[in-house]
Amino acid sequence: MESLGVLLPVPMNAYLEDELARRYKVFRLWESPPERRQDFIRANAAAIRAVVGNSKAGADADTIDALPRLEIVACFSVGLDKVDLVKCRERGIRVTNTPDVLTEDVADLAIGLAIAVLRRLCEADRYVRSGAWLSKGDYKLTTRFSGKTIGIIGLGRIGLAIAKRAEAFGCPISYHSRSEKSNTSYKYYSNLVDLAANCHVLVVACSLTEETYHIVNRDVLDALGPKGVLVNIGRGPHVDEPELVAALREGRLGGAGLDVFENEPDVPEELFGMENVVLLPHVGSGTNETRKAMADLVLGNLEAHVMNKPLLTPVV
């Protein structure tokens, strides 16, 4: 039987790459210089029937158009914003992602970021390491996390997992999403500005779509206010980043815990000097346990596809 040709647009988790190479014929796009990548795809289009993408690169319209034999896009991510889903539906290309297996880690990180910002964990760590504790004495007082009102944008799997954790800290929970959920008693706000005005920590946990692009804009940041904290474990483009930087600089926002940015890995340098901000390099799902489970899910979906069995986590 013809081996499945799998295009990898960017480097993947090492275990996943090894396993893919063991089972299929792998085409590593990034090994070609940027100006030769379209030629590389064209030259190998006859063999490529699968794309394995992630949060950095997936299958955009140009890539899909260049691959007439493409059958499946298996994402090593829960987010599908790097896949042209409309085109995949039109062409009958199957799409899978990695839900559930990363939920706990991402929710843990959201709570960790909120605590890190309010309790100034990173700044306090730097205080000890720099010798300031010895030379300047005790560290300044910070702000409690327990009991603070948490507003969550998007009450899907990850949003609910964040809510469950925050409840254990005695935090009242409210949320904003397209529609009110019937399966929770958390307070619903149909208007995001109203949610921001009524919470202390606002967490972005929705998927990135045209409707949620820059959903956190100047009005939302101003409603959150000088005592408010923004936590983003979703996608950078959920937040209007220049507005976020301005709000922090001008003291209109209390702080921010950010795992994602608009132009990763570029992070606005102005944030580097702000002690009320905690910056992480997109590590929400970045544990050994979760990345292995995500990789196994990608492999399982590809295997199911090849064997003509039901996909494990189909999206399209």
Q: Active-site residues: which are they?
A: 235, 264, 282
Q: Contact between 76 and ligand 8YV (CB under 6 A)? A: yes
Q: Contact between 202 and ligand 8YV (CB under 6 A)? A: no
Nearest residue to 203 via CA among 176, 224, 228, 232: 232
Q: How far is the CB of 279 from ligand 8YV (least distance, A)?
A: 16
What is the C-alpha to C-alpha distance for residues 97 and 125, in angstroms, rounded to an integer? Answer: 37
Q: How far is the CB of 265 from ligand 8YV (least distance, A)?
A: 12
- How many residues line the site for ligand 8YV (CB under 6 A)? 11
What is the C-alpha to C-alpha distance for residues 262 and 213, in angstroms, rounded to an integer? Answer: 10
Among 5, 7, 51, 55, binds ligand 8YV (CB under 6 A): 55
Long-range contacts of 121-129 (CB under 8 A, 24+ apart): 121/278, 122/278, 123/275
Residue with smaller CB distance to ligand 8YV, 196 or 258:
258
Residue with smaller CB distance to ligand 8YV, 163 or 295:
295
With CB under 6 A as the contact rule, which of the stretches 70-78, 142-150, 194-202, 296-304 interacts with ligand 8YV? 70-78
Q: How far is the CB of 85 from ligand 8YV (least distance, A)?
A: 14
Q: Contact between 232 and ligand 8YV (CB under 6 A)? A: no
Q: How far is the CB of 10 from ligand 8YV (least distance, A)?
A: 8
What is the C-alpha to C-alpha distance for residues 11 and 197, in angstroms, rounded to an integer? Answer: 41
Among 78, 95, 111, 316, binds ligand 8YV (CB under 6 A): 78
Q: Say if CB 55 and CB 33 are below 8 A apart.
A: no
Q: Contact between 79 and ligand 8YV (CB under 6 A)? A: yes
Residue with smaller CB distance to ligand 8YV, 53 or 255:
53
Q: How far is the CB of 11 from ligand 8YV (least distance, A)?
A: 10
Q: Contact between 145 and ligand 8YV (CB under 6 A)? A: no
Nearest residue to 55 via CA among 207, 203, 177: 207
Q: How far is the CB of 43 from ligand 8YV (least distance, A)?
A: 26
Q: Say if CB 238 and CB 232 are below 8 A apart.
A: yes
What is the C-alpha to C-alpha distance for residues 72 and 237, in angstroms, rounded to an integer? Answer: 26
Place of tokens 């993408």: 53
Nearest residue to 118 via CA among 47, 164, 171: 171
What is the C-alpha to C-alpha distance for residues 311 and 301, in angstroms, rounded to an integer? Answer: 5
What lies within 8 Å, CB to CB, of 315 at 6+ separation is 80, 85, 95, 96, 97
What is the C-alpha to C-alpha distance for residues 80 and 19, in angstroms, rounded to an integer? Answer: 22
State which of positions 248-307 bind ligand 8YV (CB under 6 A). 282, 284-285
Residue with smaller CB distance to ligand 8YV, 68 or 281:
281
In the chain, the amino acid numbered 124 is A
- Residues in contact with ligand 8YV by CB under 6 A are 54-56, 76-79, 102, 282, 284-285
